[in-house]
Each structure stands twice: as structure tokens, then as C-alpha cells.
């Protein structure tokens, strides 16, 4: 009986059906889909499913965040889709350049093998603790047997990477593993004086590495396609594996082995030089402060290959894993500050839950459930995490294995290095307390921004208990109701109430007085925090994020103070339509729930300064 069958079936239906799924993999907390047509996915409905934390749609993938049990969900999902994991990466990815595609492959290939790597890291910490207590001697057979597990995981890292990468790229995992096992054999691995076809081979140690086999498996995908194309169907079962391996072994030893080896050495040398001449304190401070933003971009695991290389080369990671833990704990501290500050029982329950998960090393629920909404916690983590990272960098904290979060702290003992552990604990405390204090001081916006001031856009009605904020149009054209907008995320009102405008002219105007809170890098959306606390999002066109700023000329920057009717942008709507996109300008109030109601005007032609909606506020009662 499948535990997640109903849940997975709902996802399949809402994401556009089986035929819309081109590939699917998973990481620590999320399912990462490559969809044939993202427009078919009903994102807001997926977000509302019980068991879904959030949905992130970016150039990397369509990501559904479900939590740390994602592996179990994924296994059942693959069975229901009727595909093997080996088919996940066989399709071409659209709208992605080579660098993004390469990073995507590396990240998604690392995800499945984190389980044995984390296991080996925590086992190393456990063995250090046990040996220091005197219960087991490092020379005892029992210690050596368990230590063999730790050593084996890193020694045979090329085999794990071969299996994972082969599945990701649609290559036979068994042939990939056979290739990895061959280069790890005693007759090749680290052997000096080898030659192939009279060509001398450099002495390369393939154990504890991953880049050579990663490159080789990538090339194996192309070789497989060519061989299958030229070998008759009747002979493929016999000849295809042989021909693939006859090509791949020389190619690996002559090209990809040396290339991967020197590339790995180059990566290690770069970060060693960076930390030597700039300082590990700078790297750790920066990464500890910025990790939540990196996670939001879906790029949280891109550092794992670098970490694996550093540990394989130095025996420890001098920067990144420590920074991950420090940042995670800072996220937990920021959420604790909100937990202590809020008086809303529902919010207190949310903040308490995400505090615990962040401390344990899973920050996605906090980042997508709280940070994106309130934004101020980012400041708290940047300050708290930055201070903790700075301390860890100055004191030279090292991570001896890949393990993060509260339970990963024993991994800092290393070979009896308790000083390193206590320094890391101190860094974690600094980040936690610092972020908690800052978030407590900054407060919860929805509660602290309730007091409003009179402004030109405010209209007080006959009922003294209510007042109204009026928004003027953001573009000249035909005003339409939000339900008529051809975008599920907006038309359902899930992102907030508002209106749509079918533009007749190319100018975008500020609908309120306020401050520009955000200008999206792709220039298709502008956020304004009004003087009355109203959070206005102007979304120009549907799916125009794919244009990457083409046809948009934005005239303001984040932090600028704007007045109602001020020009914000010039947009070439004619070219947008020619490129096949809907030009509708959408104006919504993202903090709709903070008000009694948001009432749109009826459908009509609107010109500069014409009202498009009214926000109804409850007047404070006199005491």
C-alpha cells in the first residue's frame, strides 16, 4: 500500500498530468520537476495541498517543497509515473544555458549520495567521541570495522557519483559503475608509469574524487546514443555494452581522468588561495549571511561538490559546511525572536514549528513560509549569521565531514579536536542569539505596521469606524476583474486581491505614494510599500519573466520614494505581444489579509489618476 499515493496523484493532476512531466528528481526537502509546459501547472492549488510547504518556480526547475520525507514521496511518485530514475535526465532542458545545465546536473547528482556521506561524517564524529572516552580503542577490531565504513564511503565516492549521475543523465548505471570500479582498481588507481597505446598516462588517484567520473559519465551519454544508432537492433544486447566500454575506458584515462583531476585541483587551489589571501573569515561571514537567498534560488547544494573536493584533499572543509550550520541556526534564532515577539496564537505556532526545523538543519519551511512573507528575518539572519561566520572564520573552525544542523556539531571534534568543537558551538550561539535579538527588535510587520497616517490617497467615509485608501491606475487601458486574468496564481486571488489592466499605452505609473520595495531583476514586476502600509505589486504581463528584461525600461530603483502618478517604467507592449505573451498589467495588494476588504472598481476604460481599487481599513476606536 502506497502511503503517499493520494498526495502524489493530486500533484500529478495539478502539474499538468503525466505527459507534462519531462523529468523529476529530488533534494533534501523538495521535488524538482522539469515540465514541458510550466503554464499547465496550477501553482497556487499545489501550494494549498496538505503536505506542500511551498512551490518555487525558477530557471533551475519547478520545485515543490514537501519536507524531509521527500525521498519516500519521490519513490512512490516514480512508480506512479511509470518511469525509472534513469530516465530523469534523458530529456533536453529548454531555456537553460550550458552553465546552468551543468550546475543543475552536478547539484542533482550530489543530492542522492548525501545520505552515505552524511552517515560517514556523523560516524566519524561518533568514533572520535567513543575513542576519547576510552570505551573503544582506535586499535581495536570493533573500531576498525566501523572506521572501514567511514573510509569506504569516501574512497569509493566515484562509484556513488557514477550511479547517481548515470541515473540523472539516462545512462546505464551498471556500465557507469563498472567504469568507476575499473579506474579504482589496484592496477590503475594511483599507479605510476602507466601507458595506453604507447601514450604515457599521468599518475592519478581516482579514489575520494568525483569530477573525473562525472565528466566520463556525461560523455558516456553521447557515446551510448551514437552506438545505439549504428549497431543493428538484433545485435545491440551483445555489442552495445562492449563498444561503449571500449570507447569509454581509453577516453576516461586519456582525457576525462586528467581533465577532471586537474579541474578538481584547480577548484581546491582557488578556494585555498581565496582563504589564504582574503581570509576564510570573509568567505564564512558572507556565506553564513547569504545562504537563505541562495536556498531561495534553488542553489543550496551547488557547494557540495566543492566541499567534497576540499574534504578529500585536506581532510576538512575550512568554510562552507560550518557556514551552512551557522546560517541554519541563525534562521532558527530569527524565528525564535518572532515567536517571542508575536501575540498572535496562530503565528506563534508557525514560528515555533519552523524554529525547531531550522535548528535541526532544514530551513526551507522558515524561508518559504515566513521569510518570503515578512522579509525582515533576512536582515536578522544576515546580521546574526554574519557575526557567527565572522567568529568561526577568525578562529579557524573546520568541518571534518559533511553534516550540518544541531546534530552535526559532533563532526567538529575531528581527531580529538575539542577546541574546534567549542569554537563552533560559540559561533553557533553568536549567530542564534544575534539573529533572535535583531528579529525581536524588528518585530512582525503585520502587527507593527497597523498604525496608519492620513495621506492624499486616503478617503474617510461617513462611518467614523472605517476609512479607505484609493489606488489610481498603474497603466492606461481597459480595467478588468482579476478573475478574468489568464494566470491561475493571480486570478484565484491567492496572492492578494486586485485588478488587471489591458494596456493601451506603454507607460507604467505609481498607483500610490510610497517607497519602491523591489524591482525584479527581469524588470517585469515592481513592488511598492505605500505610505499607509499597503504592499502593492505591479506585475507587467503574464509569463514575461521569460523575456529576461527585454522590452522593459525601468525608471526607478529599489529604495526610491515615488509619488502617485509618477512614471515607473516604459514597456514595449507591442513587442511583448509579438513575442507571444499576454500584456495584461496586474495590480494586487499582497497584504490583503491585513485589511477589512479590497474593493476593485468595475470594468471600464481608465486614464491617468483614475481610481482602480479601494482598500477598506477599520478606524481605531477612541479610548
Q: Is 619 left (phi over 0), alpha (psi -120 to 50) or beta?
A: beta
Strand pairing class (21-26; 30-35): antiparallel
Torsion of CA 127, 131, 133, 137, to 10 degrees: 140
DSSP 8-state code for residue 550: T
Q: What pLDDT does 91 receive?
A: 39
- Out of 27, 119, 165, 324, the active site residue is 27
Q: Specify the pLDDT at position 103.
A: 62
Tell the burial category of 561 from Cβ atoms under 10 Å away from its Cβ (0-12, 13-18, 19+): exposed
Band (pLDDT 50/70/90 cuts) for residue 376 is: confident
List beta partners, residue 65.
Answer: 30, 54
Cell numbers linked to 391: 567568529
What pLDDT score does 483 carry?
A: 82
Report yes or no: 593 and 587 within 8 Å, Cβ to Cβ: no
CB contact set of 143 (below 8 Å; sequence gap of 6+): 127, 130, 131, 136, 137
Residues 391, 433 contacting (CB under 8 angstroms): no
Listed by start position, the domains of the chain span 5-95, 101-278, 283-295+315-448, 458-618
Range 168-183 average pLDDT: 90
Other beta carbons within 10 angstroms of residue 253's beta carbon come to 23
Res 300: pLDDT = 56
Crossing angle of the two packed helices 98-133 and 157-169, in degrees rounded to 10: 150
Q: What is the mean pLDDT of residues 246-265?
A: 90
CA pair distance 46, 42, nearest whole angstrom = 6
Model confidence at 521: pLDDT above 90: no
What is the CATH code for 5-95?
3.30.1360.60
| Partners of 501 in the β-ladder | 479, 585
Instruction: Decide which of 463 and 165 is more confident.
Output: 165
- pLDDT at position 364: 65
Rounded to whole angstroms, the Cα distance separating 465 from 284 reads: 52
Q: Give SS3 for 501.
A: strand
Our answer to whether residue 324 is catalytic in this structure is no
Residue found under cell 549504428: 230
Q: What is the mean pLDDT of the chain?
A: 81
Longest dimension (CA), the chain: 96
Phi-psi region at 279: left, alpha or beta (left = phi > 0; alpha = psi -120 to 50):
left
* Predicted local distance difference test score (pLDDT) of residue 453: 38
Grid cell 505596521 is found at 449
Give CA separation, 103 vs 52, 97, 216, 544, in Å: 26, 10, 16, 24
Q: Which strand (E) or helix (H) includes residue 426?
A: helix 418-442
Strand ranges inside 313-376, DSSP E: none
Whether the predicted pLDDT of 464 surpasses 60:
no
For residue range 227-241, list pLDDT tens digits in order.
988 988 788 888 999
The number of beta carbons lying within 10 Å of the beta carbon of residue 199 is 10
User: Higher pLDDT residue, 269 or 173?
Assistant: 173
- Which run of H or of E encompasses 336? helix 320-341
pTM value is 0.48
Q: Under a CB-based contact definition with an 8 Å cutoff, are residues 153 and 117 in contact?
A: yes
Any residues with CB less than 8 A from the CB of 444 and at least 6 apart, and which? 338, 341, 342, 344, 347, 374
Q: Which three cell numbers stand for residue 223?
A: 557515446
Run of H or E residues at 199: strand 199-200
Helix (H, G, I), strand (E, B) or coil at 460: strand
Element holding 466 (H helix, E strand): strand 466-472
Q: Which residues pair with 62 in a beta bridge?
A: 33, 57
Q: For 331-372, what is each residue's pLDDT tens digit?
A: 999 999 988 988 877 678 778 877 887 887 777 667 766 776
pLDDT at 425 > cutoff 80: yes
Sort 11 into a burial class: Cβ within 10 Å, 0-12 / 13-18 / 19+. buried
What does the alpha-carbon distance between residue 75 and residue 20 come to, in Å, rounded to a whole number?
Answer: 19
pLDDT at position 346 is 66
Decide if 335 contacts 342 (C-beta within 8 A).
no
H/E stretch holding 98 reads helix 98-133
Task: State which CATH number among 3.30.70.580, 2.40.50.140, 3.30.465.10, 2.70.70.10 fits the domain covering 458-618.
Answer: 2.70.70.10
Retrieve residue 120's grid coordinates.
Answer: 560517514
User: pLDDT value at position 374?
Assistant: 72
Greater pLDDT, 295 or 475: 475
Q: Does residue 178 contact residue 171 with C-beta atoms inside 8 Å?
A: no
Continuous segment of H or E residues that includes residue 508: strand 507-509
Burial level of 387, CB count in 10 A (0-12/13-18/19+)? buried
Amino acid 548: pLDDT:
80
For 550-592, how does the pLDDT look when each residue is reduced to its tens digit (9 = 90+)?
Answer: 899 999 988 889 999 999 999 999 999 988 889 999 999 988 8
Task: Please write the tens of the pLDDT for every residue from 87-126.
Answer: 333 334 444 455 556 666 776 677 677 778 777 777 777 7
How many Å apart are CA 536 and CA 520, to the nearest integer? 14
**DSSP readout, 382-412?**
HHHHHHHHHHHHHHT--BSSS--SGGGGGGG
Decide: 215 and 158 in contact? Cβ < 8 Å: no
Instruction: Judge whether 5-95 and 458-618 match in fold.
Output: no
Rounded to an integer, what distance in angstroms lies between the CA atom of residue 601 and that of residue 139?
80
Contact 218, 149 (CB under 8 A): no
Cell numbers given for 426? 560559540
φ and ψ at residue 208, rounded to 5 degrees: 65, 15
Amino acid at each position: 500500500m502506497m502511503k503517499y499515493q493520494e498526495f502524489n496523484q493530486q500533484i500529478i493532476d495539478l502539474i499538468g498530468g503525466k505527459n507534462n512531466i519531462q523529468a523529476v528528481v529530488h533534494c533534501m526537502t523538495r521535488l524538482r520537476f522539469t515540465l514541458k509546459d510550466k503554464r499547465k501547472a496550477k501553482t497556487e492549488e499545489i501550494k494549498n495541498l496538505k503536505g506542500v510547504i511551498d512551490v518555487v518556480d525558477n530557471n533551475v526547475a519547478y520545485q515543490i517543497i514537501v519536507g524531509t520525507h521527500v525521498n519516500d514521496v519521490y519513490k512512490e511518485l516514480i512508480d506512479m509515473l511509470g518511469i525509472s530514475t534513469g530516465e530523469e535526465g534523458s530529456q533536453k532542458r529548454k531555456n537553460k544555458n550550458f552553465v546552468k545545465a551543468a550546475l543543475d546536473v552536478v547539484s542533482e547528482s550530489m543530492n542522492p549520495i548525501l545520505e552515505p556521506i552524511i552517515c560517514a561524517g556523523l560516524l566519524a564524529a561518533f568514533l572520535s567521541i567513543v575513542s576519547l572516552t576510552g570505551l573503544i580503542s582506535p586499535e581495536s577490531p570493533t573500531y576498525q570495522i566501523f572506521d572501514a565504513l567511514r573510509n569506504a564511503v569516501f574512497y569509493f565516492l566515484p562509484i556513488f557519483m557514477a550511479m547517481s549521475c548515470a541515473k540523472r543523465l539516462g545512462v546505464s548505471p551498471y556500465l557507469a559503475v563498472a567504469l568507476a570500479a575499473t579506474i579504482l582498481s589496484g592496477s590503475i588507481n594511483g599507479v605510476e608509469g602507466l601507458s595506453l597505446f604507447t601514450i604515457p598516462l599521468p599518475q592519478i588517484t581516482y579514489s575520494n574524487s568525483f569530477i573525473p567520473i562525472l565528466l566520463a559519465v556525461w560523455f558516456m551519454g553521447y557515446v551510448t546514443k551514437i552506438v545505439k544508432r549504428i549497431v543493428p537492433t538484433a545485435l545491440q544486447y551483445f555489442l552495445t555494452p562492449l563498444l561503449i566500454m571500449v570507447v569509454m575506458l581509453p577516453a576516461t584515462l586519456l582525457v576525462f581522468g586528467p581533465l577532471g583531476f586537474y579541474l578538481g585541483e584547480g577548484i581546491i587551489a582557488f578556494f585555498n588561495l581565496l582563504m589564504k589571501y582574503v581570509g576564510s573569515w570573509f568567505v564564512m561571514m558572507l556565506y553564513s549571511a547569504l545562504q537563505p537567498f541562495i536556498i531561495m534560488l534553488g542553489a543550496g547544494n551547488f557547494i557540495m561538490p566543492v566541499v567534497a573536493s576540499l574534504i578529500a584533499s585536506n581532510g576538512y572543509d575550512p568554510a562552507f559546511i560550518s557556514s551552512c550550520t551557522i546560517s541554519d541556526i541563525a534562521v532558527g534564532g530569527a524565528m525564535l525572536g518572532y515567536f517571542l515577539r508575536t501575540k498572535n496564537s496562530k503565528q506563534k505556532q508557525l514560528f515555533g514549528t519552523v524554529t525547531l526545523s531550522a535548528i535541526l538543519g532544514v530551513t526551507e519551511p522558515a524561508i518559504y513560509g515566513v521569510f518570503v512573507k515578512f522579509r525582515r528575518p533576512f536582515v536578522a539572519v544576515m546580521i546574526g549569521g554574519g557575526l557567527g561566520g565572522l567568529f568561526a572564520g577568525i578562529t579557524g573552525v573546520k568541518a571534518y565531514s559533511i553534516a550540518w544542523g544541531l546534530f552535526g556539531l559532533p563532526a567538529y571534534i575531528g581527531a580529538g579536536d575539542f577546541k574546534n568543537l567549542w569554537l563552533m558551538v560559540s559561533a553557533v550561539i553568536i549567530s542564534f542569539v544575534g539573529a533572535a535579538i535583531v528579529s525581536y527588535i524588528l518585530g512582525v510587520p503585520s502587527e507593527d505596521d497597523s498604525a496608519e497616517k492620513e495621506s492624499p490617497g486616503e478617503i474617510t467615509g461617513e462611518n467614523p469606524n472605517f476609512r479607505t485608501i484609493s489606488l489610481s491606475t498603474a497603466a492606461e487601458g481597459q480595467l478588468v476583474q482579476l478573475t478574468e486574468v489568464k494566470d491561475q496564481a493571480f486570478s484565484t486571488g491567492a496572492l492578494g486581491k486586485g485588478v488587471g489592466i489591458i494596456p493601451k499605452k506603454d507607460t507604467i505609473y505609481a498607483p500610490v505614494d510610497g517607497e519602491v520595495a523591489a524591482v525584479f531583476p527581469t524588470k517585469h514586476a515592481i513592488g511598492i510599500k505605500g505610505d499607509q502600509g499597503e504592499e502593492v505589486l505591479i506585475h507587467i504581463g503574464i509569463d514575461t519573466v521569460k523575456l529576461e528584461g527585454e522590452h522593459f525600461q525601468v525608471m526607478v530603483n529599489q529604495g526610491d520614494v515615488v509619488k502617485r502618478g509618477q512614471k515607473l517604467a516604459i514597456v514595449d507592449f507591442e513587442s511583448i505581444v509579438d513575442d507571444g505573451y499576454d500584456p495584461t498589467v496586474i495590480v494586487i495588494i499582497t497584504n490583503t489579509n491585513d485589511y477589512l476588504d479590497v474593493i476593485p472598481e468595475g470594468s471600464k476604460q481608465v486614464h491617468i489618476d483614475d481610481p482602480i481599487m479601494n482598500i477598506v481599513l477599520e478606524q481605531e476606536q477612541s479610548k
